[in-house]
């Protein structure tokens, strides 16, 4: 069921392109295990909430967490399928589904099922749209 996401609220064409580009850059950073590139897509006060892990707060801790994750897990592919993106002021909430292919690794397969769901809060900053909250977990 791949269809265009529902955009709720006032989004300019530039906003939509920027948010779609941000999501594509996120996928690229994850598939390439690039914690530095991923960090640059986030606000300074980023919150990361992944299943089976404590909340990670701030860009520095986010970077360290992703560096550790990418050293243990190789994501062969990730597909983000946004369902709805809703804007209020300089914030937007995107919810959707993820399809992951994870290479064999030291991480437990239960941590990263192939079918997942996500909720991301984006904030429009002077540098454009950035991730402020990243949360995902298994759909099963």
Q: HEC string of 59-122? A: HHHHHHHHHHHHHHCCEEEEEEEEEEEEEECCEEEEEEEEEEEECCCCCCHHHCCCEEEEEEEE
Look up the CATH number of the domain holding residue 71.
3.10.450.50
pLDDT at 50 over 60: yes
Q: What is the mean pLDDT of residues 109-125?
A: 84
Q: Who has greater pLDDT, 24 or 3?
A: 24
Residues of the domain holding 125: 6-138
Q: Is residue 1 part of a domain?
A: no
The mean pLDDT of 66-86, rounded to a whole number, is: 92
Alpha carbon distance 40, 130 (integer Å):
8
State yes or no: pLDDT of 106 exceeds 80: no
Number of domains in the chain: 1
Asked if residue 109 belongs to a domain, the reply is yes
Residue 32 lies in a domain: yes
98 occurs within a structural domain: yes
CA dist 29 to 3, 8, 58, 92, 105, Å?
A: 24, 27, 18, 21, 18
pLDDT classification of 138: cutoffs 50, 70, 90: confident
Q: How far apart are CA 27 and CA 51, in angstroms?
A: 18
């Amino acid at each position: 069921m791949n269809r265009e996401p529902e955009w709720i609220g006032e989004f300019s064409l530039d906003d939509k392109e920027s948010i779609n580009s941000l999501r594509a850059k996120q996928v690229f950073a994850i598939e390439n295990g690039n914690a530095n590139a991923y960090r640059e897509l986030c606000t300074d006060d980023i919150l990361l909430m992944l299943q089976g892990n404590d909340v990670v707060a701030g860009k520095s801790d986010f970077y360290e967490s992703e560096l550790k994750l990418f050293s243990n897990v190789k994501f062969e592919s990730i597909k983000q399928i946004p369902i709805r993106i809703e804007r209020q002021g300089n914030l937007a909430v995107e919810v959707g589904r993820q399809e992951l292919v994870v290479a064999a690794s030291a991480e437990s397969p239960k941590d990263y099922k192939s079918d997942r769901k996500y909720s991301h809060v984006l904030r429009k900053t002077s540098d454009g749209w950035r991730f402020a909250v990243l949360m995902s977990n298994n759909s099963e």
